[in-house]
Chains A and B, each alone.
Chain A
């Protein structure tokens, strides 16, 4: 701080001589994937930052929308594979599929490294499950920014009470009137949803605790039977007629044609707006796979990670990171979207407290994160995109081609196992 003061004094003395240099703030690049409501809020935060803290400290942020998380991660991966590290941004919004690639980046400026440079930093108020979600092999990679979890949205006007388990959903078939060309529930499981249901049964999708403690090399949910248990429940649900084997569609849900939808808690606000009072929206905890299962769902959403692009820019990225994960922005972002406050500081703020007092459905996700068993964590694998689609396709194929759960397990063992093997062979 003292050094900075002296430097500032010298600078101000030299000001007339180097007016040019002084006008030159530190420019940093921030890649984000925020669209619609979140996108507008994000633009506002960056604008505010540039006008206030940025102007004060000589930092100018260029925010770049990089498409979806997977587009953005692809971009990062390809830059890493070409070794053009300077093309990486200073700060990046990263989802779980990018963790492995980020950790391999030579200029990854992880939170652990940043904390060594900033011993005064205190992140103790951040929610433990949210923090843990961005840890890999014991290293804290990023700070939670857009924290969410998967919850159940349901058409309260038609269903009344939220389903607790998959068989509750199955029981709705026949007892509730389904709109024309509509369905009760539509879903095609993918990596995070499978991790939730396997996790509720006490299992892991892949070894090393879902890859959180090191590179996953095989499927873990085979021997303990959790995969088969889930597939059996899933097939029963389909057989009941309550499940439509397609990805759920917000359009259909909002139009009242789909009665239950499991989706990120982050769209509560958008959902309310689109429904516009046409029916009452209910939000409840993620359904349990069976009566024996524990409740809960893993943390989803995204974190912010930094890259080292030189000391001045590193410092600037740190400022922006702290601003975006600070209590004010977190509470505002949560209230404007349905994302959850990432820290207890943010959750205690008046903005958030007022919101959940007025509309408790915003709080469902937050409560769920706090009560989910800590062992349940998201899946981290190298071939993340292929893995995601393979799960979707295999589970969906089981229903389409009427395979038995045992056959589906074999199919997934071959398909998903093959992906892990190939990756390990080339990158082991």
Chain B
């Protein structure tokens, strides 16, 4: 009986052990290590050789590449989030009412969420190629897209927005469909047009969804790296260097682990602040209503 009680006492811990073990080993431990690295001198073998205080951060903030990376990442986030939300919510508002062809176009709108970043990046590379690509020809433009430093970051945004449409569209669609039909009907009777319906009725009623979508998109945008690795390698002349890309090149290509760690910590703090900010906004918004 005593033995059974013993088993019963540790049983809950056995159930949570696997997830805790891996959370500690592959999330918290590396994070702690990253944190330590950022305050240490670390050699190419990843061994801590001394305490560096804030030297690494001071060096990082002074590096022009970091300034560019920070600026690019913030611009990317600031442009990407509203555009993605706008497009996704607009598409969703078109689809709220179920029509015979709904399944067809809803699937089309949602499709980008199933597409791998690597594959679509390669397609965009050809699509936006200034010489052989279709877009320049079709729109009669001579834009360098990924190759011109003035348009490269914008082209990356184009790609990341496209990648985000599907998921956010579904998110907004289900949020909009949950809004009682009478509310929409009443607004219509008040003479609200489609735009007013979206901005004055649907979006305000879906604040939690908007905040959730904004937060997930913002974090995704802050972590932008894959398209940079595949398409631009941070170029031309630092125009598309992002924080995580710089972290990757400093840590992995140049074995400068302390610098990579500093960038990680900065990116983490940015993500944290953004999330907290959005949560606060949500609280305010919700409590006003």
- Which A residues contact B (CB, under 8 angstroms)? 70, 73-74, 77-78, 80-83, 101, 104, 181, 188, 245-247, 249, 251-252, 255, 257, 382-386, 389-390, 392-393, 396-397, 400, 411, 415, 418, 422-423, 425-427
CB-defined contacts of B42 to chain A, threshold 8 Å: 426
Name the residue of chain B whose CB is nearest to the CB of A71.
B253
The reply to whether A427 and B236 form a contact with Cβ atoms under 8 Å apart is: no
The reply to whether B249 and A400 form a contact with Cβ atoms under 8 Å apart is: no
> In the assembled complex, how far is the CB of residue A203 from the closest CB belonging to chain B, in whole angstroms?
24
Please tell me if B46 contacts chain A, counting CB pairs below 8 Å: yes
Pick the contact of A252: B49, B131, B234, B256 (CB < 8 A).
Answer: B131
> In the assembled complex, how far is the CB of residue B51 from the closest CB belonging to chain A, in whole angstroms?
12
CB-defined contacts of B134 to chain A, threshold 8 Å: none
Q: How many A-B residue pairs have CB under 8 A?
A: 92
Pick the contact of A392: B132, B237, B258 (CB < 8 A).
Answer: B237
With contacts A418-B62, A426-B41 known, is A78 near B252, CB below 8 A? yes
> In the assembled complex, how far is the CB of residue B2 from the closest CB belonging to chain A, in whole angstroms?
47
Please tell me if B147 contacts chain A, counting CB pairs below 8 Å: yes
With contacts A418-B59, A426-B44 known, is A74 near B253, CB below 8 A? yes
With contacts A74-B252, A385-B249 known, is A247 near B45, CB below 8 A? no
User: Interface residues of A: mostly helix, strand, loop or mixed?
Assistant: helix
Please tell me if B112 contacts chain A, counting CB pairs below 8 Å: no
The reply to whether A246 and B148 form a contact with Cβ atoms under 8 Å apart is: yes
Please tell me if B254 contacts chain A, counting CB pairs below 8 Å: yes
CB-defined contacts of B5 to chain A, threshold 8 Å: none
Please tell me if B99 contacts chain A, counting CB pairs below 8 Å: no
Please tell me if B65 contacts chain A, counting CB pairs below 8 Å: yes
CB-defined contacts of A423 to chain B, threshold 8 Å: 256
The reply to whether B144 and A383 form a contact with Cβ atoms under 8 Å apart is: no
Taken residue by residue from 248 to 284, chain B's Cβ proximity to chain A (1 for < 8 Å, 0 otherwise) reads as 0110111110110000000000000000000000000
With contacts A188-B237, A251-B132 known, is A383 near B45, CB below 8 A? no
The reply to whether A70 and B253 form a contact with Cβ atoms under 8 Å apart is: yes
CB-defined contacts of A397 to chain B, threshold 8 Å: 237
In this complex, how many residues of chain B approach chain A with their Cβ under 8 Å: the count is 35
The reply to whether A80 and B234 form a contact with Cβ atoms under 8 Å apart is: no
Taken residue by residue from 240 to 253, chain B's Cβ proximity to chain A (1 for < 8 Å, 0 otherwise) reads as 00000000011011
CB-defined contacts of A246 to chain B, threshold 8 Å: 144, 147-149, 236
The reply to whether A385 and B236 form a contact with Cβ atoms under 8 Å apart is: no
Please tell me if B63 contacts chain A, counting CB pairs below 8 Å: yes
The reply to whether A255 and B131 form a contact with Cβ atoms under 8 Å apart is: yes
Please tell me if B43 contacts chain A, counting CB pairs below 8 Å: yes
Name the residue of chain B whose CB is nearest to the CB of A249.
B147
> In the assembled complex, how far is the CB of residue A379 from the closest CB belonging to chain B, in whole angstroms?
15
The reply to whether B249 and A386 form a contact with Cβ atoms under 8 Å apart is: yes
What are the 8 tightest A-B residue pairs by CB atom distance, in nearest-first order?
A: A396-B237, A385-B253, A74-B253, A251-B131, A81-B45, A181-B142, A426-B41, A81-B46
Pick the contact of A426: B49, B65, B236 (CB < 8 A).
Answer: B49
CB-defined contacts of A418 to chain B, threshold 8 Å: 59, 62-63
> In the assembled complex, how far is the CB of residue A81 from the closest CB belonging to chain B, in whole angstroms?
5
> In the assembled complex, how far is the CB of residue B46 from the closest CB belonging to chain A, in whole angstroms?
5
Name the residue of chain A whose CB is nearest to the CB of B68.
A393
Interchain CA distance A74-B229 in the complex, whole Å: 13
Name the residue of chain B whose CB is nearest to the CB of A245.
B237
Name the residue of chain A whose CB is nearest to the CB of B150.
A400
CB-defined contacts of B204 to chain A, threshold 8 Å: none
For this complex, 5 residue pairs linking A to B, each with C-beta atoms less than 8 Å apart, are: A247-B235, A384-B254, A389-B238, A425-B41, A426-B49
Interchain CA distance A397-B255 in the complex, whole Å: 26
> In the assembled complex, how far is the CB of residue B180 from the closest CB belonging to chain A, in whole angstroms?
55
CB-defined contacts of A382 to chain B, threshold 8 Å: 44
Interchain CA distance A251-B133 in the complex, whole Å: 12
Taken residue by residue from 78 to 89, chain B's Cβ proximity to chain A (1 for < 8 Å, 0 otherwise) reads as 000000000000
Interchain CA distance A422-B147 in the complex, whole Å: 31
Taken residue by residue from 49 to 88, chain B's Cβ proximity to chain A (1 for < 8 Å, 0 otherwise) reads as 1000000000100111100000000000000000000000
Interchain CA distance A255-B253 in the complex, whole Å: 34
The reply to whether B236 and A396 form a contact with Cβ atoms under 8 Å apart is: yes
The reply to whether A415 and B64 form a contact with Cβ atoms under 8 Å apart is: yes
Name the residue of chain B whose CB is nearest to the CB of A382.
B44
Most buried by A among B64, B129, B252, B254: B254
> In the assembled complex, how far is the CB of residue A69 from the closest CB belonging to chain B, in whole angstroms?
11
